[in-house]
Amino acid sequence: MKTIPRFIAPMTFGESFAALFSSGSYGSAEPGFSKRFAEYLGVDYAIPAPSGRFAFAAILQALAFPKGGEIILPALTFHSIPQLIRQAGLVPVFVDIEPDTCCIDPVRIEAAVTNKTVAILPTHLYGRSCDMKAVGRIAEKRGLRIIEDCAQSCGGQWRGRKTGSIGDAAYFSFGPTKNLAVLWAGMVTTGSPEIAQKASAYFQSLEHISAFALSRRLVFALAMRFVTQPWFWRIFMAPALRWLSKKKIDPIEKLTAETPGAQNPADRKAGLMPSEYQWRIGFSQLAGLDQSNARRIENGVRLIELLQNVEGITAPRPAPDRENIFMSFPVQVENRDDFRQRLLALGVDTATGYMSVCPGMPEPDAQKIAPAAFEAMRKMVHLPVYPELSSADIERIAVAVKTVIIPN
């Protein structure tokens, strides 16, 4: 029986080895990649960062908001984002999501604005762009800054404009499971020379990654690629996951997920600037990004077509203008643990994701603020949608889902 992993790490063995021997003097890849990335997005500046969280921290410092200023962000977010806001002396203000997109609800943004609000942080979650027309209208009306969270939307578009080129500034994450994977690097993008200069200054005191630390990252990333090779996954990983799922254990999530509060996201000692080698990989990844995103879109649109009328499952809402690059394909079902276990028995591996609802806020208060986000998290399962999947694989995933939802 063919088995389908929940993801395949984008960085290939060939890319990793080619980067070792690519031509160019030391130090040439970093500015070259930054320029290429800025041109790709259509922005004036792209500033390399150790990670997405460090890129966000640099933006907050560059914008120099007054202490106590409020930043509006979606209730469904990565746990380190509100931590960074608080550590900058600012206040995260959570608003609920649109249930059928998982993106921030513009209607609730409007209601959350106060005289202390300084910025809006729209998160293009799971590859889907937010309603930037509504966000922009509110920001212009109230004199607010827009910081785009593009950690899951690299190459995505909103009405013909790349995400990361619409707000005052944006941050990207290039972790090993992202669609542009550069061994945990990040990027700040902006059209403002002042923000660019201050963000660059923020990173100047950080150390560059050592050869040993880089080697560890490379081994981890290549191991992720190796275990999802079809033969290895079918013979070893799939049986192990099926057995462990009966004990309510997901070793992949335990290995890759970060426990909230496990580390200080603003710890500058942990900020290691990317190496020449990483940006060489970045060139290769960027060259194929549009093609891989196009395949993601094709797979995601087909899955929507196959699942949109199936009772018992809520699939993502269709999006016009290629506004969803399907970094993942979140569906909502009841009894998600049982759903995942039964899908796995049919050869389809899934994930629950690593977002949190109103991180750092007491749960009863969070449930009142964000009922849609809580409901989504309770039911959410991410189906495979990555570009390596064939049309036949997508059909097989849909058949498996229907079999589980509507048993014979």
Q: Angle 289-307/391-405 helices, nearest 10 degrees?
A: 30
Tell me the pTM: 0.95
Query: d(Cα 149, Cα 56) in Å, to the nearest integer?
Result: 8
Residue 171: what are its φ and ψ, rounded to 5°? Answer: -130, 145
Query: d(Cα 40, Cα 105) in Å, to the nearest integer?
Result: 28
Query: d(Cα 222, Cα 201) in Å, to the nearest integer?
Result: 33
> Which residue, among 141, 159, 285, has the nearest Cα to 221 in the 3D structure?
285
Cβ proximity of 91 and 71 under 8 Å: yes
Average pLDDT of adjacent 10-residue blocks, the chain of 408 residues: 91 91 68 96 98 97 98 97 96 96 95 98 97 97 98 95 98 95 96 98 94 95 94 95 93 80 66 94 96 97 94 90 89 95 96 94 92 96 97 97 84
Cβ proximity of 323 and 156 under 8 Å: yes
The bridge status of strand 161-162 relative to strand 157-158 is antiparallel
Q: Can you give the pLDDT at residue 26?
A: 45
Percent of the chain past pLDDT 90, that is, above it, reads: 87
Ordered domains of the chain (ranges, CATH): 1-260+270-408 (3.40.640.10)
Tokens 């963000």 identify what position?
199
Cβ proximity of 370 and 328 under 8 Å: no
Report the chain's mean pLDDT, rounded to a whole number: 93
Cβ proximity of 129 and 157 under 8 Å: yes
pLDDT in tens, 175-185: 999 999 999 99
Q: Which amino acid is at 349?
A: D
